[in-house]
Amino acid sequence: MIRLLLKKPGDPSSESGRSLLRYQRAALTSIVLMAGRVVNLLTGLLTVPITLNYLGEDLFSIWMVVTSVVGFLSFSDFGIGIGLRNMLIECAGKDDFETPKKLIGNALIVLLGMFFFISLFVFFVFPLLSWDQLIKCQYPDSVPHILPTMQSVVFMFALGLPVSQLQNITNAYQRGYWGYFCLFLGRVFGFLFVIWCVFAGQPLWLLAGGYIGFPFFVSLLGWGILLWKVPYLRPSLINPEIAVMKRLFGIGFFVLLYHLSYSMLNSSVIIIIANTIGTEGVVPYSVTQKLLSVSSVITMSLLAGISVAVGEAWHRKDLVWVGKSIHRTEKLTFLFGVIPLIFLLLFGRTLIYYWTKSSASIPSFPLLLVCTLFSGIMMFGNIYSNSLIAMNYVRLVALLNCLGGFILIYGGYYLGKISQSSALIVILQSFVGAFIPTIVFRWKFQEKMKFMDYLNKK
């Protein structure tokens, strides 16, 4: 990546120049994203002891519950963001500089409408709810903090619906590094704001709202700079079109379905284990997943910009570049994903013991093995699924993942009840949530490549 970035920027007017420029932008996006994730991890680790000591267990718990609610609401843009991204990728591949204004404008009209609707709900409906029944506090003095904290955090979340589209727009034009850089700065300023609140003795609602909101405020500045430098991305908010909104919602519905099904496949196992086996099965499984996720995070960060570049090249019908990039991505995934997983398979149980100092958290070798297999297969499955989504074939990905999620929930429940084995539940997860989807997505990707090649020759 460093070698790519030291080269002179590729010339987009030639095929070889476009190829080099795609790789350069993907490399820069990956570097900025990895830096942002490291900062996010460090600030998260530092924020916990600082705020816990300042707020106390009761108020700190309120903050954690509120942020969890906001995490659940993260799907509430109905997939419009990814739908907008995919439509802009198509515009970029066809050198269309007129349609983006209309697409961005219509998406922002819808998302601004959601922002105003949620804001009205926050300030007029929230005060009527019994928050003390939802969040049980140990001390009566903590109850008055619940409502303003919930209002502050949810309002900032609503603001993020239109503002966070900076990331989708920059991703579509392979400038994702700019959006990630704004989030990077926002998280740093959010952490500094928390430090100021602690030393200045500010209330919980201000601390929590600022921590959530600062990345959005910095993104607003990023919007201004982007629109000043790239005039054809300036949204047209005056002329809303029902047809454009309908297409955004059409793509967005399957994107929403994809996100929900992906969550089912990855989050339902721990619930199934807790319900059928008990907490004694949850601890070793969850600790194992956290350990293995390190390799996945590194791999996904390295390849962050590739799927968007594949989508742009696909719409430009540059199939040779698409094929080469996918092949390179597979090799990088093996190098930075599979090899570390093999190391974790061999030494994972020892690492977990020294990490947790608890024998109850050490998984059995069969459980560690099947969790490792699932993580490895999912890495390759994500290559093909993310590429298909960027190529606007999100329907297949969403429906297949959704089917796998339902099979896992129902089949995993009965399997856990009968066998009392976490490893067997993960085997089912690996089969319906990783192995079959990866095979199907790879076959579909190759079929689309052959069909497009046939059309080009014809």
Q: Say what the pLDDT of residue 49 is.
A: 79
Q: Is the pLDDT of residue 76 over 70?
A: no
**pLDDT surpasses 80 at 134:** no
Task: Specify the pLDDT at position 393.
Answer: 86
Asked if residue 286 lies in contact with residue 270, where contact means CB atoms within 8 angstroms, the answer is yes
Query: pLDDT higher for 298 or 211?
Result: 211
Three state DSSP letters for 224-261: HHHHHHCHHHCCCCCCCCHHHHHHHHHHHHHHHHHHHH
The answer, yes or no, to whether residue 71 has pLDDT greater than 80, is: no
Q: Whole-number mean pLDDT of the chain?
A: 84
Return the ∠ at Cα 155 (arms to 154 and 161), rounded to 5°: 90
Q: Which of 372, 377, 373, 299 has its CA nearest to residue 337?
A: 299
More confident residue, 224 or 296: 224
Q: Tens of pLDDT along 155-181?
A: 998 888 898 888 889 988 888 889 889
Burial of 138 (0-12, 13-18, 19+ CB in 10 A): exposed
Under DSSP, the state recorded for 133 is: H
Q: Is residue 299 over pLDDT 80? A: no
| pLDDT at residue 373, as a whole number | 93
Compute the distance between CA of residue 5 and CA of residue 162 in angstroms, rounded to an integer: 31
Q: Which helix (H) or strand (E) holds 263?
A: helix 242-276
